[in-house]
Amino acid sequence: MRHEKDLIHFHTLMESVRKYRNITIEELCHGLCSVSQMHYIQRGDRLPDYLMRNRIMGRLGISSEGYEDYVQFDEYERWEEREKLIEFVEDSRWSEARNLLDNLFTKWTNVNMVEKQFLLDMKARILMHEGGSDEYIFELYNEIVSETIGPNLNFSNRGQLILSPVEIYYVVWWLLYMPTSYKSVNEIIEIFDALIVGIENSYLEAIAKAKVLPFAVFAYQTCIERLKISEKNKELWNHTEVAINILKKTERFYYLKELVSVRYKLGLAIAIEINYIELEQEVVAIIENIKDRYDIGILMFQSGYIYRDSIVNCIAEVIHNRRRMLGITRTNLADGVCSLRTLERIEACKSRPQQEVMKGLFEKLGLLAEYRRAEIVTDDIEIINAFIRYRVAINQKNLDVAFAKMDFLIEKLDCNYVSNKQAIIRMLNVRKKIEGQINEQIYVKNIETALSLSVPYNISNSEYYYLTDGELVLLYSIATHIEKWGWQKKILDVCNDYQGPMLISHFPSYELIKDWEASELGNHGDYDESNSISEKIIRTTFRLHRFHGLYMALYNVCWNNYEKNKTEVTLLEYNSGVLACKKICDFCENKRAVMYQNMLK
């Protein structure tokens, strides 16, 4: 195994990607910190907090989705408060949102510029609901933009758009509310033009691009209408096509309804065949139908999707829960790392562990000693992107692409890291099973071997559990292929306790595990309980604007309802639901569409 000094850290990943993107330190730190501070971060002498890590990663074009962040207990408390405020706004609990926002402005001392931008953005959202003046809302976004970007934007003079997705999001609101007394009509349109082209041509990963391009294009059209400009129709049509294609690629539906409406109007204006967007309209109708059925009323200006990124874990809880899960006493864990009293204070959220102490404790718990981790360990952006494409392709049943990426990853990943070895075993196992080279028994045995590299197979009978996202997927792979299982189910049942921010943060794992559980319940005739799980997935999916969980949960519900009561009416409803799943997959160019086509009765 590698020594601690050889491990991949945030600063080595950051520096590797910065050089790969050909971004200067000055460009990366502009408005965030001084050049000297960024040099400290780059050398690993200073660790930025969770929000700053996300902001830096965002400027490097890397989406934080798929990463796990470990934060100190006080950072975790602030993260929970931010998530609670977003939830109040999304659920139209405006009085509670206003009270919490006022409280946070008072409570949070030493607010950094990233936290300040968040609070001001939430204030602007509340004002949008309350009917606040456009001038005041613009002033709020002007202040937000001035914090880390600067008000004198001229994207056309920049070689690349070196802004994080959330900063681009703020700029779009700033432009949308900008009065012509601040900049002329031509200047506003020029900035909007350059911004959208900059996003389209940027090195932002697909998920990061999907979060901002659809909003920017829709806002641009809204601004053009407000300023009564008509000569941009063809150009705008092209932008809507690029924006919708990125939504298809990422299986998201941020601002899809708004973009399809724009495309319909533009198609009429520039005489394009309207049937060209027929599937887009059908998918929007499916989304609206589901929203009505489950009474989901989150409007896009209320949505906090732009802030949903990595899985967030409290360091104190991870240490406590992992220690108890593995049956390690505090005395044994502290030995050689810190005093017993220090460990007790860390687990009680009364002391922040220093970096070296955290590393020592994590290593003894079988965890990568890092504040941010991905399922694979590397500082090579090409390997990271290949792994992302592998996961997307395997989920979409695009096996040729998935296996090609897998071959590249097996060749490039450093097997000295446990996480990488586990990922390789799992990928090979999936391929061999699909190709019929191994049976269920060998498949399970191989996955058990992979899991045992970091977690003993017979975990102690504990009420406390913590597994990394990669370990949880391995455990899921075991549980779904054996008939009799005990402690595996107990650990997977931890997902039942996910509520609020915890559910949103851990939703990819929740969705994976609970969709399978809902399917199993349905197979055993527990239709109502199965539907309850699927409906929770559907509601959460709408908060995150994810198609993947939507069509899988939707299919489960319509199958349950038909099996529960086989009538002509439920058969029609079943076929209608399956057809909706097929159309969503057709829209996303997902090969599961063939599977749903074959399921039509």
Same domain, 271 and 132: yes
The token pair at 93 is 């609990």
What's the CA gap between 254 and 526, in Å, rounded? 34
* Domain annotation covers residue 531: yes
Same domain, 430 and 525: no
327: left (phi over 0), alpha (psi -120 to 50) or beta: left
What pLDDT score does 3 carry? 37
Asked if residues 189 and 227 have their Cβ atoms less than 8 Å apart, the reply is: yes
Same domain, 43 and 102: no
What pLDDT score does 126 carry? 98
Q: How far is CA 558 from CA 195, 518, 528, 545, 580, in A?
A: 43, 12, 12, 21, 11
Asked if residues 555 and 547 have their Cβ atoms less than 8 Å apart, the reply is: no
Same domain, 512 and 404: no
Asked if residues 554 and 592 have their Cβ atoms less than 8 Å apart, the reply is: no
Same domain, 259 and 132: yes
The position carrying tokens 């909706």 is 580
* Domain annotation covers residue 101: yes
Asked if residues 58 and 165 have their Cβ atoms less than 8 Å apart, the reply is: yes
Closest by alpha carbon to 591, among 599, 600, 582, 578? 582
Same domain, 159 and 210: yes
In this structure, how many other beta carbons lie within 10 angstroms of the beta carbon of residue 138?
19
* Domain annotation covers residue 396: yes
E strand or H helix that includes residue 70: strand 68-71
pLDDT in tens, 383-420: 988 998 998 898 888 999 999 999 999 999 999 889 99
What's the CA gap between 244 and 141, in Å, rounded? 26
* Domain annotation covers residue 337: no
The token pair at 205 is 């990963």
What pLDDT score does 160 carry? 59
Look at strands 372-373 and 311-314 and give their pairing: unpaired
What's the CA gap between 232 and 364, in Å, rounded? 61
The position carrying tokens 């349905």 is 522
What's the CA gap between 413 and 423, in Å, rounded? 9
Q: Between the CA atoms of 543, 547, 548 and 554, what dihedral angle is there, to the nearest 10 degrees? A: 90
Coil, helix or strand at residue 313:
strand
Asked if residues 75 and 63 have their Cβ atoms less than 8 Å apart, the reply is: no
The answer for residues whose C-beta is within 8 angstroms of residue 102's C-beta and 6 or more apart is none
Written as one letter, the residue type at 419 is S
**DSSP H helices in 131-277:** 134-148, 165-176, 185-200, 206-226, 233-250, 256-269
The answer for residues whose C-beta is within 8 angstroms of residue 99's C-beta and 6 or more apart is none
Read out DSSP for 480-549?
Answer: TT-SS-SHHHHHHGGGGG--HHHHHHTHHHHHHHHHHHHHHHHHTT-HHHHHHHHHHHHHHHHHHTBHHH
What pLDDT score does 109 carry? 82
The position carrying tokens 């104190």 is 316
* Domain annotation covers residue 419: yes
Say what angle helices 399-412 and 418-434 make with each other, to 10 degrees.
150
* Domain annotation covers residue 288: yes
Same domain, 184 and 295: yes
Closest by alpha carbon to 47, among 310, 358, 414? 358
The answer for residues whose C-beta is within 8 angstroms of residue 487's C-beta and 6 or more apart is 458, 459, 461
Same domain, 509 and 481: no
Same domain, 483 and 594: no
Query: φ, ψ for residue 372 (rounded to 5)?
Result: -140, 130
The position carrying tokens 């969709």 is 515
Closest by alpha carbon to 192, among 174, 167, 210, 211? 174
Question: Of 269, 286, 307, at which residue does a domain stop?
Answer: 307
What's the CA gap between 392 and 386, in Å, rounded? 10
67: left (phi over 0), alpha (psi -120 to 50) or beta: beta
CATH of the domain at 445: 1.25.40
Look at strands 372-373 and 68-71 and give their pairing: antiparallel
Read out DSSP for 166-183?
Answer: HHHHHHHHHHHT--TTTS
What pLDDT score does 301 carry? 96
Question: Of 48, 63, 84, at which residue does a domain stop?
Answer: 48
The token pair at 482 is 């054996």
* Domain annotation covers residue 517: yes
Q: Which domain holds residue 268?
A: 73-307
User: Distance from first CA to last CA of the chain, Å, rounded?
Assistant: 54
Name the stretches of the chain with pLDDT < 70: 1-8, 151-160, 273-276, 457-458, 460-461, 484-487
Same domain, 483 and 502: no
Same domain, 104 and 252: yes
* Domain annotation covers residue 330: no
Written as one letter, the residue type at 91 is D
Q: Between the CA atoms of 512, 517, 520 and 526, what dihedral angle is there, to the nearest 10 degrees? A: -140
CATH of the domain at 102: 1.25.40.10
Asked if residues 398 and 591 have their Cβ atoms less than 8 Å apart, the reply is: yes
Same domain, 201 and 302: yes
Question: Of 445, 477, 495, at which residue does a domain stop?
Answer: 495
Coil, helix or strand at residue 270:
coil
Coil, helix or strand at residue 456:
coil
What pLDDT score does 227 carry? 87
**Overall number of domains in the chain:** 4
Q: What is the largest CA-CA distance in the chain?
A: 75
